[in-house]
Structure 1
Amino acid sequence: MKQVYGVIGHPIAHSLSPAMHEAAFKECGIDGTYLAFEVKEEQVKQAIDGVRALGIKGLNVTIPHKVAVMEYLDEIDPVARQIGAVNTIVHKDNKLIGYNTDGQGYLQALLPVLPKALKDMRVLILGAGGAAKGVAVTMAMNGVKELVISNRTEKKANDLAEECSGLTNSSGLPISLAQARLTEFDLIINTTSIGMTPNVDQMPLSLEMIAKGVVVSDLIYTPSKTRWLKDAEARGAIIQNGLEMFVNQGALAFEKWTGQSAPRDVMSSKVKEKLGGLSC
């Protein structure tokens, strides 16, 4: 019997997850299908009830449901609990177990481009939403030297910094002060949607003051190189977009669902194909 997996979100029609996971199933010889389910905010409980009733084997969760699904699950992994969001659900032994693979997926993509160890890096994260939580907690858990969260709503930045304070030296910072202190950071991460297609002329922050050799990372991958990343590259920064994070978080979910190693190369190639051959 074909195993069913999927992703819930709103909106969801743009999702590349179905193509990526279908390619992985085919490569691994798994008789599975992966579907995108449009679920509005008031329908989350019914959607999770449907996962139980229909025997759906696994689910990804994307914006805006990563927090809301948590109250309807039987168990939540400690890392997901610490992050405060779930992006992967495993249906096993009649239980729904929630995980978060965003942070680890991001870390796996980031480590190969870093010029020095995480423990020696001062990190600035722009944004304080669901994606920022996964990245921030993972950075903190891996012992960065300093973690600073900057967000347009200062309270959200301070709250996220407080959540990370037991793991590393962390603080919140207004956007205006972050702009003034850019030279202090070794790694600057944009977790917001600013600069994403179609608003490609927007930037989350000016990079006029960055030091050469700093790492500038953008979780956006459409376009593959945002205006922000182009500006960073022109100023001598090491740049990275969000495509490999997307692939890695999906691969980690695949491994939790199936118990098999994910074919990351196949998954990455399929996503790039769907994006029109754009590279990372």
Structure 2
Amino acid sequence: MAIEQQIITCPAPAVDHLDRFGFLFGYPIAHSLSPLLHQTIYHNLGLNWDYFPLPSTDVKSFLELVRDPRCYGSSVTMPHKVAIIPHLDDITPEGRAVGACNTIFKRDGRLVGTNTDTIGIRESFIQNVADAQKTYAGRPGLVVGGGGAARSAVYALHAFLGCETIYLVNRDAGEVEAVMGWCKSQGYGGGLVHVATAAQAEELEGAGAVVACVPNFPPVTPEEIEARKVVEVFLGKQHKGVLLEMCYHPTPYTEIGALAEKAGWQVILGTEAMLYQGFEQDRFWTGRGLEELPVKVTKDVIAAELAKATH
């Protein structure tokens, strides 16, 4: 007899003193920097708003909370990014294309899902690369990984950075096939190439923009070791581009980032993607553009928090 998964719910936070409020819905989320990010933004904008972590697997209770008229929306993280979609009233083209919702906002009282991870990746490159033409324009992209973040990275490289060819590198060939199948079904996977071996990588044109979407662990299995060799081959090619390392917890300084830096690449820390996807969320929630948000002070606060966590 199957054991039913226990539903983890949590009491609704006190919100009577607030003008507006939102949530981070996921489980577990104890280490998330999202509450600090959004609370810093609202404080610096002088808004009587708050953003509450909601460590829960209870979708029904969450939907009741988020439908409160004073709730502006919610972040959605694992394990709910895909499961939440059928419960929404609508989803944006980005959210539909990636097949994952990390943000809910209100439109005429309806719950609309989107995916701002794609924007976080885009802005990480746009805000940090001085010369896109020399660095990545017109060159293949490269995504390391095979999960949901990899789909967001493929979409961002294709839709926003103009990468017609995108190499996929991952220890699990089945995951790569799943990513390729999904992206092709959504109309942006035609240029995907699975690079399975270092020998294959040697024969290919060098990449310009790389997004690493894997945890920061040293390779152990034969598949992991071969995938790392593939990455090292691309990093060792004559053209030196820019690598965005999506991993930032518990530290944004990773093995792949160190290899890229040593090989002469520009490295963008994963905190940049996390910050810019959050700024995009607040564009939906507050109606204010990036130029109106306290970008520098928020970056400083997040950097200081990470520094505390890594010392």
Q: Which 5+ residue runs of structure 1 have no aligned equivalent?
A: 197-201
Structure 1, residues 207-256: CA drift from partner, whole Å, max 9, x if none? 54222523222101232211221122112122112111111000010110
Change (3 A) 1:226 1:70: same
Structure 1, residues 29-70: CA drift from partner, whole Å, max 9, x if none? 111011111123xx2343223312574221011122111111
Q: Say if 2:110 is the partner of 1:95.
A: yes
Aligned to 1:149: 168
Asked if 1 retains the 8 angstrom alpha-carbon contact of 2:169 and 2:196, the reply is: yes
Instruction: Please identify, of 130-139 and 180-189, the stretch whose mean Cα deviation from structure 2 is larger.
Output: 180-189
Mapped partners of 1:76, 1:246: distance in 2: 21
RMSD (CA atoms): 2.7
Aligned to 2:242: 215
Mapped partners of 2:176, 2:70: distance in 1: 39
Residue aligned with 1:140, SS? helix
Q: Give matches, 1:76-95, under 5 Å.
A: 76-95=91-110
Aligned to 1:240: 268
Q: Give matches, 1:163-182, under 5 Å.
A: 163-165=182-184, 166-167=187-188, 169-173=190-194, 175-176=196-197, 180-181=201-202
Aligned to 2:129: 113
Residue aligned with 1:57, SS? strand
Residue aligned with 1:14, SS? coil
Mapped partners of 1:50, 1:270: distance in 2: 29
Residue aligned with 1:125, SS? strand
Asked if 1 retains the 8 angstrom alpha-carbon contact of 2:72 and 2:105, the reply is: yes
Q: Say if 2:145 is the partner of 1:127.
A: yes
- TM superposition score normalised by structure 1: 0.86
The one-letter code of the counterpart of 2:191 is S
Instruction: Please identify, of 259-268 and 9-18, the stretch whose mean Cα deviation from structure 2 is larger.
Output: 259-268
Asked if 2 retains the 8 angstrom alpha-carbon contact of 1:144 and 1:168, the reply is: no
How far the C-alpha of 1:195 sits from its partner, in A, is 3.6
Change (3 A) 1:158 1:171: farther
Mapped partners of 1:108, 1:238: distance in 2: 15
Asked if 1 retains the 8 angstrom alpha-carbon contact of 2:90 and 2:111, the reply is: yes
Paired residue for 1:12, among 18, 29, 33? 29
Instruction: Please identify, of 154-163 and 96-105, the stretch whose mean Cα deviation from structure 2 is larger.
Output: 154-163
Mapped partners of 2:261, 2:205: distance in 1: 16
Aligned to 1:36: 53
Residue aligned with 2:307, SS? coil
The one-letter code of the counterpart of 2:188 is L
Change (3 A) 1:170 1:160: farther
Identity of aligned residues (%): 27
Mapped partners of 1:253, 1:147: distance in 2: 27
Query: How many aligned residue pairs are there?
Result: 272
Paired residue for 1:159, among 163, 166, 178? 178
How far the C-alpha of 1:119 sits from its partner, in A, is 4.3
- TM superposition score normalised by structure 2: 0.78
Q: Which 5+ residue runs of structure 2 have no aligned equivalent?
A: 1-16, 219-223
Aligned to 1:199: none
How far the C-alpha of 1:104 sits from its partner, in A, is 1.2
State the 4+ residue runs in structure 1 displaced beyond 6 angstroms: none
Aligned to 1:63: 78
The one-letter code of the counterpart of 2:155 is V
Change (3 A) 1:208 1:94: closer
Aligned to 1:276: 307
Asked if 2 retains the 8 angstrom alpha-carbon contact of 1:211 and 1:237, the reply is: no
Instruction: Please identify, of 153-162 and 179-188, the stretch whose mean Cα deviation from structure 2 is larger.
Output: 179-188
Instruction: Please identify, of 55-64 and 183-192, the stretch whose mean Cα deviation from structure 2 is larger.
Output: 183-192
Aligned to 2:63: 48
Q: Say if 2:158 is the partner of 1:140.
A: yes
Q: Say if 2:228 is the partner of 1:205.
A: yes
Mapped partners of 2:149, 2:296: distance in 1: 24
